[in-house]
Amino acid sequence: MSQSSASQLKIQTNPTRTDARESPPEYDARDSSLAQSGLPVEILQNIFTNIPSSVVHRRDDFPAQLVPIHVCRAWRSAALSCADIWIGPIPLNNTAITTLALERAYRWQEMLIINAPPGSYVDPRALSTSLERPSRIEELTCPIMREMNAAFMREATRLRSLNIWQEFQCIDYTDERSDVPYGDYREADAFGGLEALRRLRELRLHGDDMRTTPAVLMNLPLLTALELTLPHELWLSLDDLYTALRAMPLLKTLALRGAVIPRGSSPDPGPPFPETMVPLNRLERINLKGSYNVLSSIFNYLSIPRCTRVSLTIRIDDGGLQHVVWPDFEHFPSLDERLVELFGPRLEDNYPLQHLSLRVYDRGNQVNDIWRYPTNATDLLGHLHYHLRTLDLRFGMAAQPGIRADGDTVFLPKLTHLHISAPPYLLGLVSAAIQTPPTTYRSFALQMGHSDQFSLVSADALELVTLSLGLQVPHPTQDHTACMSYTRLDITPARDNPTGCLRVVASGRTGVHANILPPIVDVAFEEPGMLIPYRSYRNAVPPFLHGLRLGSLLGALPLGALDVVHIADGLDSIYWDPPLKSGTAFENLSVLQRLKHARLVDISFYVSAVGPFLKAAHEFERLEHISLRSMTIGDELAELKLWPRLYTTAKAPRILVSVANCAITERDARALQSWAGPDNFDWDGREVVDCAPSWGAGDSPWRAPEAREVRFWRPELWENELCTLDDMSSQM
C-alpha cells in the first residue's frame, strides 16, 4: 500500500489508531472471548453478514455492511476477520475503503466483483485501483476505462461477466498506449482471445461509440445474458439474427436496443417451421427495439416457454412502412396476436407473463396504424390480464381517442404498477379504460408533441391536468389546508424515461378530505425528439415553457399544507446544446407562488434554481430551511446584495440556509452567511462536489429496464400508503 493510501486508510477507516499500517488483532470464531458489546464474536459476525447492503452516493459515505469497523476496536477486528462481509462488490467511492476491501478479498482468495453502474458515485482512482489485478476479477461492470485494453483482458482469465457502458460526452475513445481502441469489441482479442470469449456468461455493451460484430457473438455458447445498445445495425438480416440466437441456448436475458436489430428487408425468412424456430427455452426476459413487422417476425420465430418479462419499443420511421420489403410477412400473426398465442394460455404455475412494457414512438406520423386507440390496448390486455404485475404502455403521438363503447375496459386484478404515456387528450381515456385494484401504483407521462408546445398553458390547463390524473381537487379559492393537501413535492428529471422529461411527484396526504386524493401523484412531461441514453445532444426546450407547464401542473395539486420541496438537477439547461447559462422554470412567479407554503426547500445538482428561491425566500409563509447540496455555486450569487436579507425582514422564526457538498469559494460562502444572518447559516467547509445523483438507476440500461417497479418513486412511501389502504379496507 502506498504511503498516501495508508494515510487515507487511517483517516477513513480507523480514526482511533495511531498507525493504520499496523495489523489489527485477529479474532478466532472458536474463541469464547466476548466483544465489547458483550456478544460472542461469532454472533457479531452473524449480525454483520445480515446487514442490508447500501448504495453510496458520495466519497465520504460508508457502505452499510462496513459500518461495524467504525464502531469500536472489538467490532472492527471482528468485522475484519469475517470473510462473508467482504464477499460481494468492492466499494468504489473512496480509495482507502477500496484498498481495504481488496486486501480482505485477497486474503481470503475471493474473486472480485467490480460493480460501477451508471448513476452510482465512483472515485476514478478507486476504480483504477480495483482493476490492478485482472486475474482476480470475475464480474466487471464499469464505464470504458483506459486499463481495459487487450493485455488486461488476456490476463482476466476468470472473467465471466463483462458489462461496459459509455459515459456522457465522451469524444475520444482511443488511447495511444492501448492496442485496442475504447469501445471496439469487433475482434475476439478485445475480450482476451477466443477462449476467454467463449467462457463469458454475461455480456452487456451500451454506448453510441461501441462496436462489435456477429462473428464475435457466434462464440458465446455459455452466455446467459446478452444486452446490446449500439448505434449500428449488427446483423444484415433477421435470418442472421436467428442463427446467432440459436448459438446461445442458455440465454436467460436478451436485450437488443438502439439500431442493433435489422430492418427486415430481403432476404429475410418467410413463415417459420418447427425446424427453423429459435428455441430459447431458458429465456426469462426479453427487451427489443424495432419496427412492428420486424418484432412480429422475431416473436413468430421464438420459442420462449419460461419468459415472464417482455419489453418492446416499437419505432415507426418517418417514411412509414411502405419503403421496406416484407416478404411473406402478411402470413404471420400480428405482434399482438403472437403475444396472445405465447402467453394467453399460460397458467399460474406455467411461467405466465407478469411484466409487460409496450412503447410506440411515431413522432406523430399519420402512417402509424399501430396502437392508435385505447381499445388496441384493452383488446390485448383482455387476453393477458390475469397474471400481469407491472404494465408500461406508451401510445404514439398519432393515437386517437376513437369511439369508446360500454365494456371497452379491462380489469387487471394482480397489477402492482401501472405507467401510461400518452398525448394529453388521450391520457384520461386510457387511464379510465385500464382498471386496477386501489393498491396499484399509477404514474403518468404527458407527451408534449411539436404542435402541443403550449397545450398545458391554456386557460383550461387546470381542468385538463385534473381530468388526466383523476384528481378531485377543490376550487382554487377554497382553503386547501382545511380540505386536503400533499406535504411533499419532488421535482426532478425523469432519467428513467427514454425520452427525457420533467417529473413531478406529490406525496404525503393530509387534511380532512385527504382520502379522496390519489395516494401519490407521479406525472412527467415527455418532450419530442429527446433520444437517449448516450448522446449529450438534446432538442431545445425553452426554460419559460417548463415554467408554464410546471405552474399549470402545480395549480392542479392541493399544496396548502406543503412541508418539503425537493428540486434536483437542471430541469431546463440539460436539454440545451450548448447548455444555457441562465434561465430556469423557477423564474416563473406562479411556480414560486404555489410553493410558498413549504417549510423546507431542498435543491440538489441544480444551481439555476438557487437564485429565484433565495430572492423570494422572504415571501414564503412558513419557510424554515433552505438546503443547497451537491452543486457548483458561483455567479448565481452575483446579485445577492440586492436581495432582501433574511435576518432583517423575517419576523417569524429564523430561516436556516445550509450548504453541503458544494463547490463554493469561502468568499461566496461568507457573502451568503452575511445575507442569511450570522446564526442562520451552516456550511460544511467543502469546496468540491464529490457525489452522484441518487436517481441514476434509470440511467442503467441493464438494471431491469422493462420492470416499472424499479423506476417508481420511493418504494417506502408507497408501502406506507398500502398499509393505510389495507387498514381502510379492513374497516369497511
CB-CB contact of 278 with 302 (8 Å):
yes
Contact 230, 211 (CB under 8 A): yes
- Exposed (0-12), middle (13-18) or buried (19+): which is 716, by Cβ within 10 Å? exposed
pLDDT of residue 404: 56
- The torsion region of residue 40 among left (phi > 0), alpha (psi -120 to 50) and beta comes to beta
DSSP string, 614-658: HHHGGG-SS--EEEEESSB-SGGGTTGGGSPPHHHH--SS--EEE
Q: In this structure, are residues 161 and 140 in contact, taking their beta carbons and an 8 Å threshold?
A: yes
96, 482, 563, 619 from 486: Cα distances, Å: 43, 12, 8, 20
d(CA 526, CA 500): 6
Asked whether residue 460 is domain-assigned, the answer is no
Q: How far apart are CA 368 and CA 216, in angstroms?
A: 36
Distance (Å) of CA 42 to CA 33, 55, 71, 75, 205: 10, 26, 17, 11, 42
In angstroms, the CA 692 to CA 167 distance is: 13
pLDDT at 150: 82
Quote the CA–CA distance of 185 and 203 in Å, as a whole number.
11
Task: Give the per-residue SS3 of 276-316.
Answer: HCEECCCCCEEEEEECHHHHHHHHHHEECCCCCEEEEEEEC
Quick check: helix, strand or coil at residue 566? strand
Query: Do 636 and 685 reside in the same domain of the chain?
Result: yes
pLDDT tens for 399-432 read 776 655 455 789 999 998 888 888 887 888 888 8
- How distant, in Å, are the alpha carbons of 467, 514, 720 from that of 509? 19, 6, 11
Cα Rg, the chain, nearest whole Å: 28
Bridge pairing between strands 434-435 and 485-493:
unpaired
| 151 plus 78 within the same structural domain | no
DSSP letter, residue 678: T
**Is 575 found in the same domain as 521?**
yes
**How many CB atoms sit inside 10 A of residue 564's CB?**
18
Single out the residue of 695, 520, 490, 677 nearest to residue 598, CA to CA. Answer: 490
What gap in Å lies between CA 212 and CA 185, rounded to an integer? 5
What one-letter code names the amino acid at 265?
S
> Using an 8 Å Cβ cutoff, are 141 and 167 in contact?
no
Report which of 707, 680, 688 is spatially closest to residue 123, judged by C-alpha positions.
688
Do 576 and 624 share a domain, yes or no?
A: yes
Q: What is the pLDDT of residue 71?
A: 81
Whole-number pLDDT of residue 696 = 40
Query: 3-class secondary structure for 377-428?
Result: HHHHHHHHCCCCCEEEEECCCCCCCCCCCCCCCEECCCCCEEEEEECHHHHH
Q: Is 427 inside a domain boundary?
A: no
Alpha carbons 409 and 428: distance in angstroms, whole number: 13
Among 333, 353, 373, identify where a domain stops. 353
Residue 222, pLDDT score: 96
Q: What is the pLDDT of residue 494?
A: 67
140 and 104 fall within a common domain: no
Domain boundary among 153, 172, 203: 203
What is the distance between the alpha carbons of residues 728 and 732, in angstroms, rounded to a whole number? 7
Range 459-464 contact pairs with CB under 8 angstroms and sequence separation of 24 or more = 461/552, 461/555, 462/552, 462/555, 462/556, 464/424
Q: Which three-class secondary structure string do you get for 437-455?
A: CCCCEEEEEEECCHHHCCC
Neighbours of 408 (CB within 10 A): 18
Cis bond before residue 498 (omega within 30° of 0)? no
Q: Which three cell numbers, joined as nine digits, stand for 197?
A: 470469449
In a domain, 567, yes or no: yes
Q: How far apart are the first and last CA of the chain?
A: 66
| Residue of 570, 571, 517 lying closest to 548 (CA atoms) | 571
Burial 373-391 (b: 16+ CB within 10 A, else e): bbbbbbebbebbbebbbbb
Cα–Cα distance, 460 to 244 (Å, whole number): 54
Last residue of a domain, one of 57, 82, 110: 110
d(CA 205, CA 231): 11
Q: Are residues 106 and 116 in the same domain?
A: no
Q: Rounded to whole angstroms, how far apart are CA atoms 466 and 424?
A: 11
Residue 349: per-residue pLDDT: 86
Cell numbers 428561491 correspond to 613
Contact assessment for residue 144 and residue 184, using Cβ atoms and an 8 Å cutoff:
no
The answer to whether 216 touches 210, Cβ cutoff 8 Å, is no
* Residue 586: per-residue pLDDT: 84
The verdict on whether omega for the bond into residue 578 sits within 30 degrees of 0, i.e. cis, is yes
Query: 249 and 343: one domain?
Result: yes
CA 166 from chain center: how many Å? 16
Q: Are 94 and 118 contained in the same domain?
A: no
CA dihedral 265, 266, 271, 274 (to 10 degrees): -110
Mark out the alpha helices in 131-255 (DSSP H runs). Answer: 150-155, 194-199, 214-217, 238-246
Give the domain range for residue 485: 471-699
Looking at the structure, do residues 478 and 603 belong to the same domain, yes or no?
yes
- 189, 210 Cβ separation under 8 angstroms: no
Residue listed under C-alpha cell 376550487: 475
Report DSSP state, residue 699: G
* Residue 54, number of CB atoms within 10 A of its CB: 13
Q: Which residues of the chain have pLDDT under 70?
A: 1-38, 55, 119, 167-182, 264-270, 317-332, 363-371, 401-407, 449-482, 494-501, 528-544, 569-583, 647-652, 691-732
Type of residue at 125: R
Phi, psi of 499 (to 5 degrees): -105, -5
Residue 331 lies in a domain: yes
Confidence (pLDDT) at 15: 34
Q: Residues 304, 322: one domain?
A: yes
What angle is formed at CA 117 by the lines to CA 114 and CA 119, rounded to 5 degrees? 140
Which cell is 503 given? 417529473
- At 76-99, the pLDDT tens digits run 888 888 888 888 889 998 899 999
Asked if residue 572 is part of any domain, the answer here is yes
Closest by Cα among 145, 51, 54 to 93: 54
Q: How many domains does the chain have?
A: 4
- Reference 549, options 427, 442, 455, 419; nearest CA is 455
φ/ψ region of 169 (left if φ > 0, alpha if ψ in -120 to 50, else beta) reads left
Q: Answer yes or no: do 134 and 252 share one domain.
A: no
**Same-domain status, 99 and 182:** no
Residue 431 lies in a domain: no
Look at residue 389 and tell me if it is in a domain. Answer: no
Q: Examine residue 635 and state whether it is found in any structural domain, yes or no.
A: yes
